[in-house]
Amino acid sequence: MVKAKILNVETSHGTVAVETTPSNGPDVVLIHGNSSCRAVFEKQLRSQIGEDYRLISFDLPGHGESSDATDKQRTYPLPGLADASLETLRALNVHNPVLLGWSLGGHIAIEMVSRGNDFRGLFLTGAPPVGANIAEGFRGNLLKGLAANGPFSREQATQFVDRVFGSEATDQLIGAAMRTDGDFRTTLFSQARIAEKSNQREVVCSTKILTAVANGDSDPIVNLDYVDGVPYGNLWRGECFRVPSAGHAPFLQNAGAFNRYLREFLADLDSE
């Protein structure tokens, strides 16, 4: 089993808790979703992929073992989360990594790509690259309004985690949802700040960075038909993939199939 290294990185946004595998291989950055934590990527961090690549995962500000943001209005909107992520990578001396973003983490990754092309690849899961009409990328009311809720009660956290993780829901993930700074969700989704993000559809349609898309085939949150219909600028193997027997968190719900897609994507990047 891969033994990861855990450290705290001091940034202008607060203290960021980081976990890395000890490989000397190319860097792959894993970015988790709203009200979650880096532990969601355990089945990647502890896999053969972690032996062959340096996997770097961190708790977003206001999540997990990271501190709450020192300036919440600066950090919690999507551009601030991208800034915090980029600053963390600079502190770790990470250059030209592959970005793997899940759910909110995928939107953060796209926001990072919008700043430049210093990335080897982009792997998106559970993150529809939406334009001006955000609703078209999702199915119904986003997590029944919980995604933008303030502090969670245990009941709300349980509902949120059950919806996101299905059969892979655990007390640890419920605890992570409850730990998340309640100001995070309300700030992220406030009408005054949500429009500050880039047009993510335009970003993925114009980028030359090789982009992989793999979603759970039964994702209850994402509009998969929308995702499949986006005219990506450089789509890996020319198609969006659907991981069988998986919902919104395919890297947990069917890690074997998900990791095969990830390994093949990374191998194709290595061969370029």
pTM value is 0.96
List the pLDDT tens digit at each of the 272 positions of the chain. 667 789 999 999 999 999 999 988 999 999 999 999 999 999 999 999 999 999 999 999 999 999 999 999 999 999 999 999 999 999 999 999 999 999 999 999 999 999 987 899 999 999 999 998 888 999 876 555 677 778 999 999 999 999 999 999 999 999 999 999 999 999 998 877 777 788 999 999 999 999 999 999 999 999 999 999 999 999 999 999 999 999 999 999 999 999 999 999 999 999 98
- Structurally, the chain folds into a number of domains equal to 1
Domain containing 33 equals 5-270
Q: Which of 176, 36, 177 is nearest to 104 (CA)?
A: 36
pLDDT score for 142: 59
Q: Which of 48, 20, 38 is nearest to 256 (CA)?
A: 48
Q: What is the CATH number of the domain that holds 156?
A: 3.40.50.1820
Pairwise CA distance, residues 117 & 243, whole Å: 28
pLDDT score for 146: 77
Q: CB-side exposure of 263: number of CA atoms within 13 Å?
A: 14
